[in-house]
Chain A
């Protein structure tokens, strides 16, 4: 049985545990094709993202996963203003998704790491320089921008 199938089988049970109560949805788009997944989760508390639900699109190369490559994960484009997220595409700069990937990570680990990144941006190598600068210079303004953008996205969804 392939690894991703195994993960999927154990997933729904784990999602119901308190540890993952912040994930409201994590499942493949189509049960017959485990290469495309969608995730929705609550922004981390004590961060500008608190109180907002964020969406991830996850693509898995079934040939490579998990040995020689992790999932490709993008935020829904134009929703997340964050130093390590590309605004237009939703691309996430996170070592765990790139060179630091190891096969022991699961999708849950990945989503957890992304959530941690939201609360604690890495400013060493920002993808969005403008946001990174604002974060550095005027944290309050950063919070306002993040929340404004998320509110905008939420209204657009309704």
Chain B
């Protein structure tokens, strides 16, 4: 058995996985190239060449493989990378017998040939799935050996298996690994191979704290890709896709490619954060490029001989069908895959333009203003409905700072996500689900709002002759405890105890809110 040892339960787990793996293979009618040890030798000749072989991406298979957590051995901890103990989510690559192209050979997952182990994954959910190793662009070989993929696990690997030079209809094929390591890279995993691009920014040194801040709570680095939609130009606005968020441990490599049925099948059992980044556009090659992340959370992009190119901030990474260097990504970079075909009239022929955001940079942290706004919103709701609803009354979950919220003119509020359907169903008429107040969401925003304010104020708080400017005289009325605002003010004292002298000002704030809401 390759790459894991020692422990019966571990082995059996892997065998079980292996048979599932085999099922996938036979489903595809594909045999894993590396399964035939004989071929390994014959094919490995050019293993470290630079991969100038032509690529045929017309026939692609794809393999999935996920390993289970492997029971710990005491050694495991010491073998793991120093400073990477956060989370301790670590399993190990149990098999690495998937084929790889020459260009990929230096950056494939570890060859676990010895009795290696890693710390047992903690309760973190993600840990149970990692590491993941897929091969995109895997080919069907005509070799012997059949589909007995269980054998795969018993082939001792002493040198990297190399494929990609297997002639297939006179052409070589491309295999690109998609591998996601857990927070702690398996001790045996080689450090990521990076071929820095000349004339391009190099990663800066990062201290431990910086690196820690780049990680999420599971100790993984994160990447977000959002469609870059250009509405300003006369042409097509671009290719839209839902935001893609991926997480990966140090040393991982994520494939960028085209969404195909095979990809869909292969990734169906993997949690989404570990999927490759695939797009439903025909100008994207099946294996177009890769993202890599190093131990410090620096992300890189590389074109792996895509047919239509990869552009980073409008600069093409490599000539057609050639491998590019690794380009360091900066937060906010614009990455483009391919070029519009036939003018991009049809969406599937559009290039994929996206904004790249790295390591949680898109997440908003609640600041004092956010928190205060939430408090005020709750107070507003309490003021008008008499009850303080902590939760969104539709999903029954709390409304928290930095969530998108919809506040109706009647002062009831919900998560925008929860109310959206109700808003759009009868737009522009909106009936508040809480109080059934009806409002017109298309009402003129510049209508005599001052009059309306006055009206509102007159009815509820003030004697008719008072003007808006007298609002600051509210305080005496407060003490009678009978009017509308006073209860509000009491709330405000509760929610903002440190600033008692702010009372009048706060009162004005509330008016401001109301004016805004009206």
Contacts and interface: CB of A to CB of B under 8 A. Distances in A.
A102 B436 contact: yes
Interface string B391-433: 0011111000000000000000000001001100100000101
Nearest to B433: A102
A68 B436 contact: no
B123 interface: no
A123 interface: no
A104 B393 contact: yes
Contacts of B397: 1, 6
B370 interface: no
B396 A3 contact: yes
Interface in A1-20: 1, 3, 6-7, 10
Interface residues of B, number: 13
Contacts of A6: 395-397
Contact of A67 (B396, B422, B434): B422
A3 B394 contact: yes
Contacts of A67: 394, 418, 421-422
A104 B433 contact: yes
Interface residues of A, number: 12
A51 interface: no
A43 interface: no
B396 A103 contact: no
Given A6-B397, A10-B396, A104 B434 contact: yes
Contacts of B393: 103-104
A10 B421 CA distance: 25
A66 B394 contact: yes
Interface in B226-261: none
A104 B394 contact: yes
Interface of A: 1, 3, 6-7, 10, 66-68, 102-104, 106
Interface of B: 393-397, 418, 421-422, 425, 431, 433-434, 436
Closest 4 CB pairs of A and B: A102-B433, A104-B393, A6-B396, A103-B394
17 contacts: A3-B394, A3-B395, A3-B396, A7-B396, A67-B394, A67-B418, A68-B421, A68-B425, A102-B431, A102-B433, A102-B434, A103-B393, A103-B418, A103-B422, A103-B433, A104-B393, A104-B434
